[in-house]
């Protein structure tokens, strides 16, 4: 691409930037226990590696994480319509 930077290096940079941004939300040490990552992005193995490097912890994901968010959204909507 521009300046002959390899696409994989650009994507790795995006993963590191996302991980740093997520860690900004977790300041003040309130992440003492295990960390679970959910949603469609939890399927991205390289992003998980970047998160583990940033948080210096193992990041756990559930099977089919894209569905757990969708199910949660559906339950939330169901409760709002009552």
Q: E strands, the chain, where? A: 35-37, 59-61
Query: Average of pLDDT values for 5-20?
Result: 90
Query: 3-state DSSP call for residue 59?
Result: strand
Q: How many residues does the chain have?
A: 82
Alpha-carbon distance of 30 to 37, in angstroms, equals 16
Q: Considering the entire predicted model, what is its pTM?
A: 0.71
DSSP single-letter state for residue 31: -
Alpha-carbon distance of 78 to 72, in angstroms, equals 10
Q: What is the pLDDT of residues 31-47, one digit of tens each?
A: 778 888 888 889 999 99
pLDDT of res. 46? 92
Angle separating helix axes 7-25 and 45-55, nearest 10 degrees: 50
């Amino acid at each position: 691409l521009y300046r002959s930077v390899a696409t994989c290096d650009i994507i790795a940079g995006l993963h590191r930037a996302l991980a740093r941004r997520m860690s900004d939300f977790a300041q003040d040490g309130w992440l003492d226990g295990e960390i679970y990552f959910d949603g469609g992005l939890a399927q991205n193995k390289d992003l998980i590696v970047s998160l583990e490097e940033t948080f210096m912890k193992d990041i756990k994901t559930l099977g089919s994480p894209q569905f757990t968010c969708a199910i949660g959204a559906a339950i939330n909507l169901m409760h709002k319509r009552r």
